């Protein structure tokens, strides 16, 4: 079974440029999470989706970050414009929920460098 897929794996952009990250969760997983992981820190939740609905986006900086999960499967996280402090790893995770269990499976992440 394929795991959580993320692309791109690495992205280097200049500040003030836009950037987008894509996530394909494990097939059948209804819940999708985006996390931010700074160097030497643990992941911090940005947003959680239950199917198409964003049920927790309290930690998402809405002035520059946006996310969508069309059709309740793939998801895209966007930053516009990017700032130097946005350099980090952006992790996507998914879980089945319900009888399928609550374990969160993580993708390899997208490492963003803002110059």
Partner 1 sequence: QKEVEQDPGPLSVPEGAIVSLNCTYSNSAFQYFMWYRQYSRKGPELLMYTYSSGNKEDGRFTAQVDKSSKYISLFIRDSQPSDSATYLCAIRNAGNMLTFGGGTRLMVKP
For binding to partner 1 (CB under 8 A), which residues are involved? Answer: 4, 31, 40-45, 48, 56, 91, 93, 95, 97, 102-104, 106-109, 111
Taking the complex as a whole, how short is the minimal distance between the CB of residue 24 and partner 1, in angstroms?
14
Alpha carbon 52 to its chain centroid, in Å, reads 14
Looking at the Cβ atoms of 30 and 76, the one nearer to partner 1 is: 30
In the complex, minimum distance from the CB of residue 4 to partner 1, in angstroms, rounded to a whole number: 7
Distances (CA, A) of 26 to 3, 29, 43, 71, 113: 6, 6, 19, 14, 27
Least distance to partner 1, CB of residue 41, Å: 5
Q: Evaluate the omega torsion of the peptide bond into residue 58 and state whether it is cis, within 30 degrees of 0.
A: no
């Amino acid at each position: 079974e394929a795991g959580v897929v993320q692309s791109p794996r690495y992205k280097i952009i200049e500040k003030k440029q836009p950037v987008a990250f894509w996530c394909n969760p494990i097939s059948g997983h209804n819940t999708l999470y985006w996390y931010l992981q700074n160097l030497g820190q643990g992941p911090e939740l940005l947003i959680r989706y239950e199917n198409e609905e964003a049920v927790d986006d309290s930690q998402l900086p809405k002035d520059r970050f946006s996310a969508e999960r069309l059709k309740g499967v793939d998801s895209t996280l966007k930053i516009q414009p990017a700032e130097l402090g946005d350099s980090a790893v952006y992790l996507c995770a998914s879980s089945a929920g319900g009888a399928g269990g609550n374990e969160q499976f993580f993708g390899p992440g997208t490492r963003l460098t803002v110059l």
